[in-house]
Structure 1
Amino acid sequence: MVGLTTNAQNTSFPETSLAVAGLSHGHSHWIFQDEFKGDYAIVGIYEPNISLASKYQIQYGMDSNLFYTNLEEMLDNVKPHGVLAFGSVYEHLQVVEAAAPRGIHVMVEKPLATSWEHAKKMEKAAQDHGIYLLTNYETSWYPSTEATYQYMLDGDQFGPLKKAVFHHGHKGPQEIGVGPEFLEWLTDPILNGGGVLMDFGCYGANIMTYLLEGQLPHSITAITQNHKPEIYTKVEDEATIVLEYDGAQAIIQASWNWPYDRKDMEVYGTKGYIIAPDKNHIKFRSPQTNNKLVSTPLRDIITVYSNPFQYFVEVISGKINIPSFGLYSIENNMVVVQILEAAKLSVLSGKTVRLPLEK
């Protein structure tokens, strides 16, 4: 457990305190699991759905006094250093607008926002009040993500990046059995901003922006389909997004129709390529490998923060400076939201959409 307690004045607290805003995202279970223990305390939990809050309270043995049904009341009572937003993506704006004026830093679960309009408001609130605004992706903890970035920096071995292909998704949220509270908003075009295009299209956009150190694509072309309209009545379950850069291209394949869970990618330079089939391995081929495919387990080679909440705490405490276009950074994730917004516009119009979007 992560040092759960009910009294914000307890002198046994770790140096940094965190609150939680929303539990409806299925990934919110991470916050309370032993795997993600860290040097922080959870001092308050906002969740307006009393039944859902009760489930978490019982499952993780938490005191009922931790729970609030009013976000601002919680923030004022427990005065956390940071807040973790794990409700619907649409609610991220509400959390930032409540936390920022109070000087409370925010980490949201991916993606940053449902729309470019929301993202701009969130960025402004963070800038105006001097808070950190991070976005958490599971792939940010993957050694294979960081290894691919580090290897591609070696221009002598792989050459400039020319093409990347990202595969992210699973059989579908209903098919894999996500909770009803999560499924309700994940398949709502307002609360999630779309379907699989938002849910899994964001991963490739985030990693590509990291690999190209913040470069904005100059155009986006996207198509979506709905292979299971009897299940997903309001949103798409299949999406392909093509990102065009000066001298490079990325293809993001997001699907709720894969036969197996996928979070893998292929990155091609002018001299070689890297394939990351899972979080702990990469395969690569280049003239330096005598043009043979080499498979490398990444244990003991690449070190990454495997706990996003500890990463957040160390950013707040000044132990970590976020790279300008690092995976968690606001700069990176503003690009991600532009890409997703342009993709939705492309789907609606049937045309390629140019970037940047208007401020």
Structure 2
Amino acid sequence: MSDKVRIAFVGCGGHASGALYPQFARIAEIDLVAVVDQIEEKRLVAQRTWGARRAYASVEEMLDKEKPEGVCISGPPQMHYEVGLQVLERGIPIFVEKPSAIDFQHAYDLAEAARKAGTFGMTAFMKRFATAYEKAKEITQREEFGPVSMVSVRYTHGAYPSIWGIEDRALVCLIGNQCHAFDLARYFGGDVTELYARLCDRGEGCFAFAVTLQFENGAVGLLNSNATDDPSWNIRETLNVSGLLCSVDVEDMIHVNYRPRERWAPELGPWREGLYALPHAVSFNLGGRWLGYEGELRHFAQCIRGEVENRSSLYDGAASLAIAEAIWESAKTGKPVRPKSHKPGQ
């Protein structure tokens, strides 16, 4: 009997085919037993291209026949919720793309459904598994770094479309894309207890949010979340984390710059010192590994086997949407807002 984890995948769209399916060839722990999509051409192409054993049009039929150990779900957030519940009802773990649902309440309900079914779910915040962010996280947990004092995230790009039935482009971007930035802030700073947001909306999907954060542990934070930065879809992404007399930066997910407290050239006086790391150009064929897509899928399989603790849960997905909704409320009311609690069992 194979010791590989039997995984089925629901959804054969652009993101799944471009970012997720290509990773399976490098993950020895997973056996891709089935793909599911209502569009025949998409599911057959996915089966042929990525080596799935079988293809189905129906989630229920797939679950009945394959009895997978885990199910990945990638599509619109409404699908994440609906299909996620179908799978969780059978006690099967799920891996859902972000956002895990269309709003906080549905995301929280999905997390609670997993808990009540005695299983678990992952939200696909792949940045938690990206090489540069994993290294930055390890640095911030060193004794020499001290307590995190400040977290700043810049996540900017071009105009955002109206999708998923949400007309306001600024709101749907908070839900569908900026949730990456919100999760990074939480990953490095902890839970957010209060925030204050201002919005500059230029129309046609061009807008900018400036957000201040208060973390539960006493640290503070800043978010530059805007869609005015580029004529196309070139994302500019920077994380800055300050400890105690030291800091670490990550730029565009590949460049890590650490400025430790201890200086290696004190004779240079006011010169800025630091340590950096970035991948060489010839290694970019491993982009899925550097960007976290491979790591998050492998982590899902390891969680199913009980080898590791889940570090990107459905509750994390709900927390990012709680921040999105709090930012929207604060920007509209002009007042500080406390994000809704995502704690289990409320």
1:245: how far off?
Answer: 2.4
Is contact 1:165-1:252 (8 Å) kept?
yes
TM-score, normalisation: structure 1: 0.77
* Cα distance in 2, alignment partners of residues 27 and 258 from structure 1: 26
1:224: how far off?
Answer: 3.9
2:188 to 211, 232, 237: 211
1:118: how far off?
Answer: 0.5
- Could you say which residue in structure 1 is the equivalent of 2:250? 276
**Within 5 Å, which residues of 2 pair with 1:319-358?**
319-322=307-310, 326=311, 328-357=312-341
**Within 5 Å, which residues of 2 pair with 1:199-348?**
199-212=176-189, 215-227=190-202, 229=204, 232=205, 238-245=208-215, 247-259=218-230, 260-289=234-263, 290=266, 292-297=272-277, 306-322=294-310, 326=311, 328-348=312-332
* Cα distance in 2, alignment partners of residues 331 and 355 from structure 1: 13
Determine if the alignment matches structure 1 residue 15 to structure 2 residue 4. Answer: yes
**Secondary structure of the structure 2 residue equivalent to 1:274:** strand
* Cα distance in 2, alignment partners of residues 192 and 337 from structure 1: 16
1:262: how far off?
Answer: 2.3
Distance 1:222 1:172, change over 3 A: same
CA-based RMSD of the aligned residues comes to 3.3
Is contact 1:224-1:240 (8 Å) kept?
yes
- Could you say which residue in structure 1 is the equivalent of 2:153? 166
* Cα distance in 2, alignment partners of residues 19 and 225 from structure 1: 43
**Within 5 Å, which residues of 2 pair with 1:66-81?**
66-81=54-69
Distance 1:113 1:222, change over 3 A: farther
Structure 1 residue runs of 5 or longer lacking an equivalent are 1-10, 175-182
TM-score, normalisation: structure 2: 0.80
Is contact 1:126-1:132 (8 Å) kept?
yes
Is contact 1:201-1:252 (8 Å) kept?
no
Is contact 1:89-1:114 (8 Å) kept?
yes
How many percent identity over aligned positions? 20
Determine if the alignment matches structure 1 residue 44 to structure 2 residue 34. Answer: yes
* Cα distance in 1, alignment partners of residues 170 and 44 from structure 2: 28
Residues 246-293 of structure 1, C-alpha deviations (whole Å, 9 max, x = no match): 532222223333333223211122312211113333212243125733
* Cα distance in 2, alignment partners of residues 353 and 57 from structure 1: 46
**1:320 partner amino acid:** V
* Cα distance in 2, alignment partners of residues 51 and 258 from structure 1: 37
Distance 1:330 1:56, change over 3 A: closer
Residues 102-133 of structure 1, C-alpha deviations (whole Å, 9 max, x = no match): 12110111233321210221112101111121
**1:164 partner amino acid:** V
Is contact 1:88-1:192 (8 Å) kept?
no
Residues 166-210 of structure 1, C-alpha deviations (whole Å, 9 max, x = no match): 122433567xxxxxxxx854xx42899942212332223222322
Distance 1:184 1:36, change over 3 A: farther
**Secondary structure of the structure 2 residue equivalent to 1:20:** strand
- Could you say which residue in structure 1 is the equivalent of 2:93? 105
Is contact 1:280-1:298 (8 Å) kept?
yes
**Secondary structure of the structure 1 residue equivalent to 2:78:** helix
* Cα distance in 1, alignment partners of residues 298 and 181 from structure 2: 24
- Could you say which residue in structure 2 is the equivalent of 1:189? 166
- Could you say which residue in structure 2 is the equivalent of 1:6? none
- Bigger Cα displacement from structure 2, 122-131 vs 192-201: 192-201
Distance 1:140 1:192, change over 3 A: farther
* Cα distance in 1, alignment partners of residues 183 and 166 from structure 2: 21
**Secondary structure of the structure 1 residue equivalent to 2:149:** strand
